A and B are shown apart, each in its own frame.
Chain A
Amino acid sequence: MEKVQTSATEQKLTRREMHTISVFVANKPGVLVRIALVFARRGFNVDSLVVSPALDGHYSRMTITALGDRETLIQIIKQVGKLVDVIRVTEHIEQAVVEKEFALIKVAADAAKRAEVMLLVDHFKAQTVDFTEDSLIIQVTGNTEKLDSFISLLEKYGIIEIVRTGKVLMARGKEKT
């Protein structure tokens, strides 16, 4: 799950796009590996992957964001759907879902910079969860784009570490996720 760095021209050539797929699976050993193998075999780069138990503990939910071309993605979805322990696999279109991500960001903000950082924290409705002499940890929730822009604004203060959960999502209204 390396961080993806594709230049604009390359993107144009291969038309690689970020896709969000949710997979509803029987909570059985090995199911994660089987799904990961399908992605790997078809050259898809998994950007983030979140697994959690479903309401009924016999099942789990996975939210996968992955980079690749659409034609391959369709094939991957069909192959994943074939796995015996997979109940349902869906690609989500942004408008129809609520999506959120959570991040912890450790920023090297000493007393001199702290006030500026706190302004940003305030603006993004983030929170500080750890305070030391020369660093602080900020927690922030929101969609991926919001987190990305928050992180890029913090960069000039010196980010020491980032941990992101990856995207989770839920279909709006009556639709099943």
Chain B
Amino acid sequence: MLSSHIKKTGNSLEKTEKGSWVMKYIISGILGAAALGLMATAASAGTLEDVKAKGFLQCGVSTGLAGFSAPNDKGDWQGLDVDFCRAVAAAIFGDGTKVKFTPLSAKERFTALQSGEIDMLSRNTTWTINRDTALGLNFVGVTYYDGQGFMINAKKLPGVNSALQLSGAAVCVQTGTTTELNLADYFKANKMEYSPVVFEKLEEVDAAYDAGRCDVYTTDQSGLYGIRLKLSSPDDHVVLPEIISKEPLGPAVRQGDDKWYHIVKWVYFGLLTAEELGITQANVEEMKASGNPEIKRVLGTEADTKIGTDLGLGNDWVVNIVKAVGNYGEVFERNVGQGSPLKIARGINALWTKGGLQYAPPIR
């Protein structure tokens, strides 16, 4: 098949050195173009059937953002976005390891999804109306409510403690992101000047900021905390208090496959519901014996239940998710919360019952 051939080309490019930037760059565009041109026009089978047939889920993640998707020292992918991919794989196969990860730059991500190179995108991606409509994507929900912030080197810039003092600064930013647009809007709205220093890859932005090419680093605040840990002297750098935008980050799928869209969306709601009902990785087996009708419905132990099968999965889909990665709260704390070096507070990412924004429709 042509699509598999194209995929192979994409993987081998990861390893080339000379000129790989340009090549990858242009390939990512051409890949989409070629895939759209050469794809058979006849309707293909649904994504769920495709995923089941090949035996694993192909999930698009970032090229390395601590807490969201980054390989650990053993080379295994870790993070909130990564665990969401594992949850989807667990819901389908009953096995959270049946997933392969494709690292994508901000620019490659949508083309990779559109062209079918990946089955779903779980890569700290902001949900916007343009991406939902004109790009042929469907966002399934918000796995992390974020906002854009600024980081500066406080040691080299004493006295700067607000983003409104940044007029005239050189700002490092990753290209092809909503961050780049918010930055332009914010400085324009506040009648301030800045000179953008723009890179395609996060690692390049990190290196340029660390080398002092720019005064300010801007990206989502969660990202700033993760990046700060990787700098040569993390304690010199501070994140300024201002949050200049809404950045609801969430997974996305291709338009036109409602069944697949529903599965990914309800895996997210399943994670939330599990936390709400107190179902954890540790107690999920005992919970199956619970007499609480709501828990019975969610865990598929209700007699003659059709909730899971209607979704196209097994009735024990939530059990599989929680066994693989835990509930939403556990995923959060392990990757970005108190159990991680980032130590980000739950804040607005707490459940609605605890004053946050995370809310799932009822599973019934």
- B partners with A: no
- A-to-B contact residues, CB < 8 Å: none
